[in-house]
Amino acid sequence: MRAEARIGFILLLTPLVLWLGLLIVIPHIDMLMISLRERISFGVYEPSLMQYDKALTEPLYLRTFWRTAVMSVLATAITLLIAFPVSYYIAKMARGRLQQVLFMLCLIPFYVSELVRTFGWMILLRETGLISNLLQWAGLADQPVEMLYNDAAMMVGLVYTSMLFMVVPLVTTLESLDDSVVEAGYDLGGNGLSVLREIIIPHAMPGIVSGCIVVFMLSLGNYLTPTMLGGKDSLWFTEMIYNQFIVRSNWELGAAFGFMLLVLSSVIVWGMLRLTGRTLQETMG
């Protein structure tokens, strides 16, 4: 019986170990090794910190790195601001069927691929697009308006893509808030703002933090949206990684970029948890 239980345990554990090992640990170790070497000539490599040196001194690389970080944080903040009232409405104000329908409406855009969704935005925002034509028809613009290929368009795309991942954890935590606790907040003299600040937000904090972490990571690692909606100036760090690996075949620098992104996301997530005084265990558990 004991031996059988052990075999069962091993069988259950194997896929996890294989997945972690083959897809995450081994490639990352390999990436780290690649990033820490320098190509001397064909097939000849030497250990070196040159790639990191290059990445941290070249202004374009550094600027893109920080821009990506700041824009991702901004996208996360905007997503939170939009998703919070939506989630509150779904979780606390909507009842029965309406609640289910609204939740489904948040989910439906995700039935199609991200590529198709992004093309949807391009159809709306391009020079000959729907909004441009509408503005001309209404007499608000006298020539076609180009709304694509800038930071605003990219931000719209990022927020739209991440919305669901913020709404789901928020709805879940807000649903667990007892209505009478909110009523007690008002009954004891609180107004909308103080009830929100002292009762609703502290209660929703686990959902806010986990939603923010997921959205931030998704934005930081997004490739499609910044490439398609962003302009010349909206270079995203993932695009640079792609360029190094695929266009320039410079795996060494690409691997170094990859590691910088990993460190960046870890540091920001850690900072976010520190700032809100939560542990990863509390947030994910």
Partner 1 sequence: MTPDLECVDLVKRFGDTTAVNDVSFSVPPGSFFSILGPSGCGKTTIMRMIAGFLEPTSGDIRIKGGTVLDTPPNKRPVNMVFQHLALFPMMTIADNIGYGLRRQCMAKAQIARKVDEALDRIGLPGIGARKVDELSGGQKQRVAIARCMVLEPDVLLLDEPLGALDLKLREHMKIELKALQAAFDTTFVYITHDQSEALVMSDQIAVMNAGRFEQVGTGQDLYYRPDTPFVAGFIGEANRWTGRIDRVEGATLEMRTDTGLAMRATAAQPLSKGDAAEIFVRPEAVHLAANAEALAQFENRMRGRVTSLLFNGAASRVLVQDDAGETLEVTLPQTGEFASLKRGDRVHIGWGAAQAMCFAGAA
Binding site for partner 1 (CB under 8 A): 178, 180-181, 183-191, 194, 198-199, 202-203
Q: How far is the CB of 202 from partner 1 (least distance, A)?
A: 4
Token pair 């792609």 is at which residue? 242
Residue 132 tokens read as 């441009």
C-beta closer to partner 1: residue 66 or 186:
186
Q: How far is the CB of 110 from partner 1 (least distance, A)?
A: 32
C-beta closer to partner 1: residue 53 or 175:
175
C-beta closer to partner 1: residue 175 or 198:
198
C-beta closer to partner 1: residue 58 or 183:
183
Report yes or no: 25 and 16 within 8 Å, Cβ to Cβ: no
Q: How far is the CB of 208 from partner 1 (least distance, A)?
A: 13
Q: How far is the CB of 96 from partner 1 (least distance, A)?
A: 15
C-beta closer to partner 1: residue 2 or 97:
97
DSSP state of 36: T
List the alpha helices (DSSP H) in the chain.
2-18, 26-35, 50-57, 59-88, 96-107, 114-125, 130-137, 151-175, 179-187, 192-195, 201-220, 224-229, 237-242, 251-276, 280-284
Map 79-141 to HEC letters: HHHHHHHHHHHHHHHCCHHHHHHHHHHHHHHHHCCHHHHHHHHHHHHCCCCHHHHHHHHCCCC
Q: How far is the CB of 85 from partner 1 (least distance, A)?
A: 20
